[in-house]
C-alpha cells in the first residue's frame, strides 16, 4: 500500500511538472507569435519572418505558416513565401484569403518569367496524384469490363463504333495517367535570387538554364549537396538538370 501511494504521488508530481512545462512553452510561443505580429505591423518584415520561423521550428500551424508567407513576400523573398503558403494550403486548402494570396503570387512569378510546374489544384487531381497506380488500374479495368458487358448487348453492326469510342477513351485515360504521374511527386521552390541549372554536379561547369526566385519545379533526387530537378522551360520544352541544394526549399 505504501509503495502504491508513493508511486501515485510520484506520477502526480511528474504530471504537474509536465503540464507546467507545456503551458510555459505554449505561452512562450504565443509571445513570439505576438512579437512577430508586432514586427509585421511596424513594417519590419524580416524580423517578423524570423519570429514566425522560430515558432515553425517547434510547431506547425496554418496561421503561422500564412503569416510567415506574408512576411516573406513583403521582405522580397518570393520563393520562401510560396513555400510557406503552399504548406498552409496543404492544411487548409479552402481558405479564401490563402487561395487568393497564393494565386496572386503565382501570377507574379509567371509574369516575371518564373517556372511553375505544379498542376492546377483540384481535389480530383490531388487524389489522383497521391494514388495514381491504384486509380489507373481501376480506370482501365472499368473501361475494359464495360467494353465486354456492353459488347454483348450491342448489335454487331455497332461494334466498331463502340470499339472506336472505347479506344479513344483508353488513349485519353492513358495520356491523363502519364500526365499526372509526370507531375506527381515532390516539389521544391527556388528560394535564392537565381538558381543555375547544370547538366552535371560541378559548380565550375556552365549552366544551361537560370531559374528565378519563386520558380516551382519537380524534385527528382538529392545527391551530394545537389538536387536534380525537372521543369518546363519558357519555350515549352522539358528539362532536367542539377542545382545546388542550398538554392531550393522543399514544399
pLDDT digits over 125-161, tens only? Answer: 555 555 555 666 666 666 666 666 666 666 555 666 6
User: Per mean pLDDT, which range of 88-97, 139-148, 196-205, 213-222 is the poorest?
Assistant: 139-148
- Rounded alpha-carbon distances, angstroms, from residue 201 to 135, 208, 217, 231: 36, 13, 18, 17
The lowest-confidence range among 18-32, 88-102, 226-240 is 18-32
Tens digit of each residue's pLDDT (9 = 90 or more) over 4-31: 555 444 444 544 544 444 444 454 788 8
For residue 206, what is the DSSP state?
P
In the predicted model, what is the mean pLDDT of residues 183-193? 83
pLDDT at residue 66 is higher than 80: yes
Tell me, what's the pLDDT at 37? 94
Give the DSSP letter of residue 246: G
Residues 6+ apart with CB under 8 A from 68: 49, 52, 53, 56, 84
Q: Which pLDDT score is estimated for 148?
A: 66
Higher pLDDT, 28 or 205: 205
Residues 6 or more apart in contact with residue 49 via CB below 8 angstroms = 36, 68, 71, 72, 75, 77, 80
Q: Is residue 239 predicted with pLDDT exceeding 60?
A: yes
pLDDT tens-digit series, residues 33-65 = 999 999 999 999 999 999 999 999 888 899 999
CB 180 within 8 A of CB 132: yes
Of residues 192 and 27, which shows the higher confidence score?
192
Instruction: Name the grid cell of 192.
Output: 535564392
Q: Among 150, 194, 140, 205, which Cα is nearest to 172's?
A: 140
Per-residue model confidence (pLDDT) at position 47: 95
C-alpha span between 230 and 123 (Å, rounded): 24
Reference 251, options 191, 180, 178; nearest CA is: 191
How many other CB atoms are there within 10 angstroms of residue 209's CB atom? Answer: 17
Q: Which residue has the cell 507531375?
A: 183
- Count of H-run helices and E-run strands, the chain: 8, 7
- Is the pLDDT score of 179 beyond 80? no
Output the pLDDT for position 234.
81
Query: How far does Cα 228 stand from its chain's mean position?
Result: 17
Among the ranges given (144-158, 159-173, 231-245), the one the predictor scored with the smallest mean pLDDT: 144-158
> In percent, how much of the chain has pLDDT > 70?
63
Amino acid at each position: 500500500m505504501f509503495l502504491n501511494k508513493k508511486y501515485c504521488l510520484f506520477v502526480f508530481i511528474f504530471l504537474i511538472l509536465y503540464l507546467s512545462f507545456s503551458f510555459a512553452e505554449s505561452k512562450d510561443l504565443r509571445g513570439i507569435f505576438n512579437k512577430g505580429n508586432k514586427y509585421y505591423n511596424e513594417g519590419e518584415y524580416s524580423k517578423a519572418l524570423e519570429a514566425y520561423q522560430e515558432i515553425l521550428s517547434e510547431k506547425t500551424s496554418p496561421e503561422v505558416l500564412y503569416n510567415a508567407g506574408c512576411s516573406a513576400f513583403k521582405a522580397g523573398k518570393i520563393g520562401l513565401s510560396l513555400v510557406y503558403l503552399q504548406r498552409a494550403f496543404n492544411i487548409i486548402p479552402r481558405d479564401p484569403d490563402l487561395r487568393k494570396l497564393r494565386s496572386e503570387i503565382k501570377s507574379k512569378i509567371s509574369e516575371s518569367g518564373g517556372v511553375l510546374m505544379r498542376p492546377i489544384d483540384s481535389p480530383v487531381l490531388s487524389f489522383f496524384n497521391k494514388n495514381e497506380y491504384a486509380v489507373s488500374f481501376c480506370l482501365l479495368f472499368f473501361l475494359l469490363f464495360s467494353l465486354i458487358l456492353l459488347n454483348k448487348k450491342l448489335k454487331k453492326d455497332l461494334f466498331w463504333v463502340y470499339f472506336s469510342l472505347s479506344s479513344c477513351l483508353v488513349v485519353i485515360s492513358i495520356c491523363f495517367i502519364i500526365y499526372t504521374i509526370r507531375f506527381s511527386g515532390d516539389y521544391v521552390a527556388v528560394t535564392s535570387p537565381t538558381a543555375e541549372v547544370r547538366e552535371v554536379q560541378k559548380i565550375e561547369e556552365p549552366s544551361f538554364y537560370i531559374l528565378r526566385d519563386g520558380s516551382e519545379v519537380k524534385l527528382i533526387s538529392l545527391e551530394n549537396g545537389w538536387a536534380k530537378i525537372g521543369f518546363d522551360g519558357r519555350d515549352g520544352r522539358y528539362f532536367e538538370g542539377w542545382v545546388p541544394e542550398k538554392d531550393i526549399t522543399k514544399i
